[in-house]
Chains A and B, each alone.
Chain A
């Protein structure tokens, strides 16, 4: 059975692009359009990997990532951040939240700044989902 990969992004063009890449590589794509819906879906579906945008309505990828890493059941699911937001910003944001008293979280498994080529995305996914 094809492994489920969750894409969390509010941009319909990116969703269509990632969905195509996933299907062409034999995965089963599932979609959420913001961090809040993404977290609910990751809890429900337990995907093999999450491809996560950062700047989204309702809840950002930064918060969703944090909540995943705090959750015993979800913390080992690999996360590939795919975003226009720079990696430096993502990491500084996590540092700032830690300074405000939250527990530190590890870096995401991979970070790709948009845009991404289909081959590059497929290659990164393969690293984590055999």
Chain B
């Protein structure tokens, strides 16, 4: 009997407002890292078909929305099937966050891809506290994919040159381990650490130099690990407000995405999960890959 190869699955969540097929196509390079199964998820938000006074449940509207989603998914699926990919689809009615979590669990996916909404209400659902809530409730890495501003185009290869923001926590160590599994997809990792200005208030220049040296050595050690698996790497040390400096670094180092680790359980204690992760998810113009500390990795 034929044995099916182990598949790496990606859950691609779309409301057909924030992510289209070009966003999905930009991730096809991940096949080199073993991803060969895409599961589409479209959630018909409950309030679009909910009971209305005098009308009851809007069954016709649900059917219409389902069929519209189905037509789009069939078109996308045909394209992927013809490339030898495995494809699945869910079109469900419910609340966004619980449906993403339950579908990710049911399918056992290795990556959740979702978008950032521009409309205030949906933005709140996806890129605000809901994003953090998603990270807290899943051990699966989450990519918040974005159309790059000002061009409005999707980056064709978001994994080609990721900027990896490191704070030396267990969470960022897990982010390193996760990215090590992407040899063949990532051309170069830009590893950075943002040191707080507070650390540079010492009177002693020797002390400040020691801080700089310590961080540089840690960054170089991370770069060596990437080079060992055939991924080129460069490191940079920044000083200032974390989120602003990460964004600035991503721009000047021509990064294709921002990557960071998150703890998931104690958001306020971790630099990346608290305001930084939220700000990057909401405001950064770069796709943002957030990796929970409990995520599976190649080395673990």
* Nearest chain B CB to A75 CB, angstrom units: 10
Stretch among A1-9, A16-24, A50-58, A116-124 lining the B interface? A50-58
Does A76 count as interface, using CB distance less than 8 angstroms? no
User: Do B88 and A56 have beta carbons less than 8 Å apart?
Assistant: yes
Question: A70 — which chain B residues lie within 8 A by C-beta?
Answer: 1-2
Does B159 count as interface, using CB distance less than 8 angstroms? no
Does B249 count as interface, using CB distance less than 8 angstroms? no
Does B235 count as interface, using CB distance less than 8 angstroms? no
Which of B74, B84, B88, B107 makes the CB contact (< 8 A) with A96?
B84
Stretch among B75-83, B170-178, B209-217, B268-276 lining the A interface? B75-83
User: Do A92 and B81 have beta carbons less than 8 Å apart?
Assistant: yes
Assembled-state Cα–Cα distance A30/B168 (Å): 55
Q: In the complex, which residues 47-79 of chain B have their Cβ closer than 8 Å to any Cβ of chain A?
A: 70, 73-74, 77-78
Write out, one digit per residue, whether chain A residues 31-57 have a CB within 8 A of any chain B CB (1) or not (0). 000100000000000000000001111
Question: A67 — which chain B residues lie within 8 A by C-beta?
Answer: 1-2, 4
Assembled-state Cα–Cα distance A89/B87 (Å): 12
Assembled-state Cα–Cα distance A116/B84 (Å): 27
Q: In the complex, which residues 68-111 of chain B have their Cβ closer than 8 Å to any Cβ of chain A?
A: 70, 73-74, 77-78, 81-84, 86-90, 106-107
Write out, one digit per residue, whether chain A residues 81-125 have a CB within 8 A of any chain B CB (1) or not (0). 000111001101100110110110000000000000000000000
Q: Taking A66-B2, A67-B4, A84-B70 as contacts, is the C-beta distance between A92 and B82 under 8 angstroms?
A: yes
Q: In the complex, which residues 1-37 of chain B have their Cβ closer than 8 Å to any Cβ of chain A?
A: 1-2, 4
Number of residues from A at the complex interface, CB < 8 A: 28
Does B180 count as interface, using CB distance less than 8 angstroms? no
Which of A34, A66, A85, A102 makes the CB contact (< 8 A) with B77?
A85
User: Do B107 and A58 have beta carbons less than 8 Å apart?
Assistant: yes
Does B144 count as interface, using CB distance less than 8 angstroms? no
* Nearest chain B CB to A129 CB, angstrom units: 25
Question: B90 — which chain A residues lie within 8 A by C-beta?
Answer: 57
* Nearest chain A CB to B94 CB, angstrom units: 15
Question: B70 — which chain A residues lie within 8 A by C-beta?
Answer: 84
Q: Taking A66-B2, A85-B78 as contacts, is the C-beta distance between A57 and B84 under 8 angstroms?
A: no
Assembled-state Cα–Cα distance A102/B1 (Å): 12
Residues of B within 8 A of A (CB): 1-2, 4, 39, 70, 73-74, 77-78, 81-84, 86-90, 106-107
Residues of A within 8 A of B (CB): 34, 54-60, 62-63, 66-67, 70-72, 84-86, 89-90, 92-93, 96-97, 99-100, 102-103
Q: Could you show 10 A-B contacts with beta carbons less than 8 Å apart?
A: A54-B77, A55-B87, A59-B86, A60-B86, A72-B1, A85-B74, A85-B77, A89-B78, A92-B82, A100-B84
Known: A55-B74, A58-B88, A58-B106. 17 other contacts (CB 8 A): A54-B81, A55-B73, A57-B39, A57-B89, A57-B106, A57-B107, A58-B107, A60-B81, A62-B86, A67-B2, A67-B4, A84-B70, A84-B74, A85-B74, A85-B78, A85-B81, A89-B82
